[in-house]
Amino acid sequence: MTGPISPALWSVDAILNRLSEGDQSVPLVTNLRGAWTWGSKPTSGFIEYSHDGLGVKEIDPSASLPDNLLTRLQRRQFFNTGTDYLGAGFTTQRTPLLTPSPAFLINLRDQSGIALLSALWNAGNNDNFVLGLQMPFGSERNEYGAPDNRSTAYIRWKKYF
């Protein structure tokens, strides 16, 4: 369901899943998105809440995931390990050639998350460079603060023919 709220759009999506184990799952996503002018520059942004009925409420890095989630992972079904997330971000064209896009995602149950900073530089008619940085945060025992979650920087070149 989608509808206007002043100059923004609000939407909500939910579905009832009946699982083979006899359980039920209700994933839910709701977001608010809009566009505006920031310092005479075009800008768009969003804020989103997501509830994953398949996730676990308490994440224990030393324990294995429940069998039903391990089975879904082996089948390559997508899921989050947690249940409740908040994300937000925006994109703004600062110059005709440079468009930065910061965003973040937070696990609301353990307050860990990941900050994403990226910028698109239009180097020419057929060339784009994307520069980015992904920075997880949280304590060691949380989803994104796990010891193997490290900051990552990247550069991507796109050439159109």
Tally DSSP H helices, then E strands, for the chain.
Answer: 1, 11
What pLDDT was estimated at residue 27?
84
> Among 85, 92, 147, 151, which Cα is nearest to 116's?
151
- Summarize pLDDT for 41-84 with one digit per residue, the tens: 999 999 999 988 766 666 665 566 667 667 766 776 655 677 89
Considering only residues 97 and 149, tell me which one the structure prediction assigns the higher pLDDT.
97
Say if residues 136 and 149 touch (Cβ distance below 8 Å): yes
Question: How far is it, in rounded angstroms, from Cα 93 to Cα 116?
Answer: 17
Considering only residues 141 and 100, tell me which one the structure prediction assigns the higher pLDDT.
100
Question: How far is it, in rounded angstroms, from Cα 79 to Cα 64?
Answer: 15
Question: How far is it, in rounded angstroms, from Cα 19 to Cα 36?
Answer: 42
What pLDDT was estimated at residue 11?
94
Can you name the residues that pair with 133 across neighbouring β-strands? 117, 153
Considering only residues 53 and 154, tell me which one the structure prediction assigns the higher pLDDT.
154
Question: How far is it, in rounded angstroms, from Cα 92 to Cα 41?
Answer: 7
Indicate if the pLDDT at residue 109 is higher than 90.
Answer: no
Say if residues 131 and 151 touch (Cβ distance below 8 Å): no
pTM of the shown model = 0.77
What pLDDT was estimated at residue 78?
55
Say if residues 65 and 71 touch (Cβ distance below 8 Å): no
Question: How far is it, in rounded angstroms, from Cα 129 to Cα 122?
Answer: 6
For 31, residues 6+ apart whose C-beta sits below 8 A from its C-beta are 10, 11, 46, 47, 48, 49
Indicate if the pLDDT at residue 138 is higher than 60.
Answer: yes
